[in-house]
Amino acid sequence: MPTVTYQSPWMNDDLQMFRKTVRRFIQEELALHQTRWRQQHRPDAEAWTKAGATGILLADVPDKYGGGGGTFAHEAVVTEELAQAGVHFGSGVHSIVAHYILAYGSEEQKRNWLSRMARGELVGAIAMTEPAAGSDLQGIKTTARRDGDHYVINGSKTFITNGWHASIICLAAKTDPRAAGLKSLSLIIVETKDLSGYRVGRSLEKVGMHALDTCELFFDDVRVPASNLLGAAEGLGFSQMMQQLSYERLTVGLGGVATAEQAVAITTKYVKERMAFGKPLIDFQNTRFKLAECKTEAHIGRVFIDHCIERFIAGQLDPVTAAMAKYWLTDCQCRIVDECVQLHGGYGYMMEYPIARMWADSRVQRIYAGTNEIMKELIAWSL
């Protein structure tokens, strides 16, 4: 039978070579340790410097700042390979932090932080969410009070990916508590090494993605240089976040598509091998139809995300389309993975099977990077 022949239009020979390097690194340095990392709730620290040495980190940051000098297509290759391997490593969040610095940092800030991040010597985290402020960032209570040539930071953050390892944090805080709502927010870079008053809380017990360190962070009279403010003035934090969130949402949507494609691939293999009533599961029309639906949806998702990637590389991806990608593709991912669990029967519920882990890991995709309900609000504002 004919098979689907499709190649992402942004793919080329250079990226194919890069994909091989990334795939090898994931298999040899990340996948092998996943069971232990899931138990300890974080990757090993050396994984970060090894990833840096292999050129996996900041693949789309200019080489003059120590990055790979590629485009978002390079970052996309890393995202796809991690998703297809079912490996969780916080390089996506790390890249997001780098892109805040790239977009809003001074030349000095970029030179100071980006090359160390590219080498994996600094591990990035983005800290927006607080116990009383998730979707509604107006609720942020963390303050950064100016005191001479420092900011004094007080408050706490929660659900912070890479929280355990984080040595460079892009922190959303109120610099002017008297200013109205979102105008009081600024982004400040916090280097955490030997930082007095900074504390990492427990690694949170999640439903899935156990190999990632997701933590609470506490700031108690933490002093950081005032020169760590991102952007020309205080109060720009919210608009900076709104612009940069497209990058994060595109990455999350792409992870959704790659996971869905992988779910269809492993389930197709499984139903050809598993027997019931004297024949392989694929011989039941329901199995074929369900997988046909999943494959079609995954392919629609692929074409849409490739369109978004091309537009992003051309500097033309608008925030509304990025919100569509994040919402629709992660909903689609969850539908497909859930259907694939069903086709695995009881084995689909056993954590030793990749499809079960995929199911547990997928659920959060509809929640973080802005919930899918918030995405629909953003889309609706454009109506």
Ligand X SMILES: Cc1cc2nc3c(=O)[nH]c(=O)nc-3n(C[C@H](O)[C@H](O)[C@H](O)COP(=O)(O)OP(=O)(O)OC[C@H]3O[C@@H](n4cnc5c(N)ncnc54)[C@H](O)[C@@H]3O)c2cc1C
**Interaction site with ligand X (CB under 6 A):** 93, 126-129, 134-135, 159-161, 206, 209, 214, 364, 367-368, 370-371, 373-374, 377
Q: How far is the CB of 209 from ligand X (least distance, A)?
A: 6
Catalytic residue among 216, 248, 297, 339: 248
Q: How far is the CB of 205 from ligand X (least distance, A)?
A: 11
**Phi, psi for residue 193 in degrees, rounded to 5:** -60, 125
Closer to ligand X by Cβ: residue 73 or 160: 160
How far apart CA 145 and CA 139 sit, in angstroms, is 17
Closer to ligand X by Cβ: residue 175 or 365: 365
CB-nearest residue to ligand X: 134
Q: How far is the CB of 104 from ligand X (least distance, A)?
A: 17
Closer to ligand X by Cβ: residue 73 or 209: 209
Closer to ligand X by Cβ: residue 18 or 219: 219
The closest alpha carbon to 205, from 38, 379, 19, belongs to 38
The tokens 């009081």 sit on which residue? 184
Please indicate whether residue 80 is annotated as part of the active site. Answer: no
Strand 198-203 versus strand 185-191 pairing type: unpaired
How far apart CA 150 and CA 196 sit, in angstroms, is 14
CB 208 within 8 A of CB 357: yes
How far apart CA 69 and CA 60 sit, in angstroms, is 6
Q: How far is the CB of 269 from ligand X (least distance, A)?
A: 29
DSSP strand E in 308-350: where?
A: none
For residue 41, the SS3 value is coil
The closest alpha carbon to 229, from 126, 167, 165, 150, belongs to 150
Query: Annotated active-site positions, please?
Result: 248
